[in-house]
Structure 1
Amino acid sequence: MIKVDLITGFLGSGKTTFIRKYASYLVEKGMKVGIIENDFGAINVDMVMLSDLDSEMCDVEQIVGGNVEADWKRRFKAKLIAMAMQGLKRVVVEPSGIYDVDAFFDVLYEEPVSNWYEPGNIFTIVDARVEDDLSKQARYLMASQIANAGAIIFSKAQEAAPEQIQESIKRLNGMLEEFHSNRTLTDEVITKPWNELTPEDYERLLNCGWHSADHEKLWFDHNDAFTSLFFMNVHMTAEVIKGTVEKLFADEKCGQILRVKGFFQQADGRWIEINATKDSFSMKTIEQAQEVVIVIGQGLVEEEIRIYFQKKRDSEGYDKQSGNHISRDT
């Protein structure tokens, strides 16, 4: 049987970065691995971030769209069936950050998928500095994910003080209690910085399994609660990008922005990848991409956000946008 590992975590928690490390470890062990990537939104930016892992020993696949649970389950099932005869030892699945874990088990226990696959591990990636002002829907999604996780892995732990880490664990347990889960987190929380993880740590993760913990279900339409807006052909210099993103997060007129990610081509032909939440910002040079920016959040105000990407402010590094396009994912 092929084991399937699920990597959950809220928007911007660091799931894609962790998958890079975890999949690389599996390949180093001689395992042939499949990765199934499904981002929240019409354009799968995270798939681009994983594309360099694609090799003879690591097959990177994507599920396009599928923000509606029924669509995601149908496409996930079809992808697993298509990959069943590739000689894979393990499949690693990264769904979107607004994912309900029940859908994962629904597909794996359904024939014919259940003839080839079985659940392996469930990891939940959590920013080590858990925010105290998350909406009820966001708290529910985090609670439902950590309730089933065999391991909760803190990201950016090196940026958090020990007291912040303890406060984050307390907040996570508070979310479990809020939705009447019968689970309390203890030693399954991994707080070590990722660059310090040892082969022994990865072996622990490889065998952590998952939990069957109850929790109260909160019924809501994920697509009504969370919105994905994308902007094509945004030209912006590296010097301006970070300041613009910081202004977006600070501007209450834009709504509650949870994550900004995308790619910008520079005048010298270089491509820059950005990935940002309210508390973190990363930028790096990559080989090639598609010029797009995706903004994800709750109660987003399309007109206000568009201003930041359509202004002509050449002195600050903007280019005039003649054909900029914005769409709401539905």
Structure 2
Amino acid sequence: MIKIDLITGFLGSGKTTFIRKYAKYLEKKGERVCVIENDHGSVNVDLMLLDDIRSKNIDVEMIACACNTDKSSHLRRYRSKLITNAMLGYNRVIVEPSGIYDIDEFFDCLYEDPLDDWYEVGNAITIVDSTLEDNLSKESNYILASQVSCAGTLLFSRVQELEGDKDKSIENVKSHIKRALKDIHCNKKIDNIIVTKPWDDLTDDDLEKIRNSGYERSSYVKESVIRNNEYKTFFYVDLNISKDELINRINKIFADDSVGNVIRIKGFIPTENNKWIEVNATKKQLKVVESNVGQKIILVIGEYMNMEHINEYFPEAVAIENKHK
């Protein structure tokens, strides 16, 4: 049977970065891998961020629906993609959903005919930012805990960026996760599944353990947070500004309380030499690099955001709203 892995993590936690390393390791072990970017948005920037890992044995595909398409249509496309992939000779499928995701969708789909004859769950890997803010909203804590509830590995990202007492910082994040689990009445034990080694230091032995870490579905009290949330993505299309100007505007957005809780900003702007500037930003980190692929779009992702105020930072662009369903 084809093993299918779920890589979860809250917005900006580092899922895409880990998948780059993980997929290449699987290829080295002789596996044929398909990465599925499973997002409810109409544009998936992460698909482009993974473009350079494509090879003879690694493919990257996207499932997305238009902003006004309902959830059932998205699930039908997801199911159809898995059926197609089952016929293409992959050993492993890696699913990267959006950072706001109901994990039951992943498992429920695999229990249906004919997918249950072709696929088996390999691993559920949850990425947690080691610089996680302690004052997350109730909704964000629910999403974090629900993702952790099924994890076989809890992989901390950005450990190398911690300042001061790193052990204390990591313990604080562990305590935060445990409180979030308690809030949803989940008795998941996490101490033995946590990996806190900086990712550049992960050995083949470490990756092999992750590759075989499995999953564990722990029960919890399900709430309507995801269905009725205020998480949104604003798309800013056809933006033509300089790199310095983009950085300046992003910094101002994160400093502006009137825009709401902006969690992540990512996307591309074109350069004069027919290349692209890729930006990937959270409140604590701003990454800007040159890329050979891109699309003229910037995504602003968050909760309880004020679109009118954010639009003022991108007056040159066409603004489109997508509410996560």
TM class, shorter-length: over 0.9
Distance 1:164 1:282, change over 3 A: same
Equivalent in the alignment of 1:52: 52
Equivalent in the alignment of 1:126: 128
Equivalent in the alignment of 1:226: 231
Equivalent in the alignment of 2:181: 176
Does the aligned pair in 1 maintain the 2:40–2:74 contact within 8 Å? no
**Pairwise CA distance, 1:289:** 1.1
Equivalent in the alignment of 2:77: 75
Amino acid at match of 2:201: E
Alignment partner of 2:153 out of 151, 157, 182 = 151
Which digits, 9 at most, give the CA deviation of each residue in 1:155-185, with x for residues without a partner?
1010122211110011001100111101131
Distance in structure 2 (CA, Å) of the matches to 1:87 and 1:201? 27
Equivalent in the alignment of 1:41: 41
Equivalent in the alignment of 1:276: 281
Equivalent in the alignment of 2:194: 189
Does the aligned pair in 2 maintain the 1:230–1:293 contact within 8 Å? yes
**Pairwise CA distance, 1:300:** 1.1
Alignment partner of 1:298 out of 288, 300, 303 = 303
Distance in structure 1 (CA, Å) of the matches to 2:182 and 2:66? 30
Could you tell me which runs of 5 or more consecutive residues in structure 2 were left unpaired when the two chains were aligned: none
Q: Secondary structure at the match of 1:148?
A: coil
Superposed CA RMSD in Å reads: 1.5
Which digits, 9 at most, give the CA deviation of each residue in 1:46-100, with x for residues without a partner?
1111122222201211101388543332222110001111111110000111111
Distance in structure 2 (CA, Å) of the matches to 1:145 and 1:276? 22
How many residues align structurally?
A: 318
TM-score, structure 2 as length reference: 0.94
Does the aligned pair in 2 maintain the 1:98–1:222 contact within 8 Å? no
Distance in structure 1 (CA, Å) of the matches to 2:215 and 2:303? 30
Q: Secondary structure at the match of 1:134?
A: coil
Distance in structure 1 (CA, Å) of the matches to 2:66 and 2:180? 27
Equivalent in the alignment of 1:329: 322
For the pair 1:237 / 2:242, whether they are aligned, the reply is: yes
Amino acid at match of 1:171: H
For the pair 1:16 / 2:13, whether they are aligned, the reply is: no
Amino acid at match of 1:326: A
Q: Secondary structure at the match of 2:314?
A: helix
Amino acid at match of 2:292: E
- The more displaced of 222-231 and 26-35 is 222-231
TM-score, structure 1 as length reference: 0.93
Distance in structure 2 (CA, Å) of the matches to 1:72 and 1:227? 17
Equivalent in the alignment of 1:114: 116
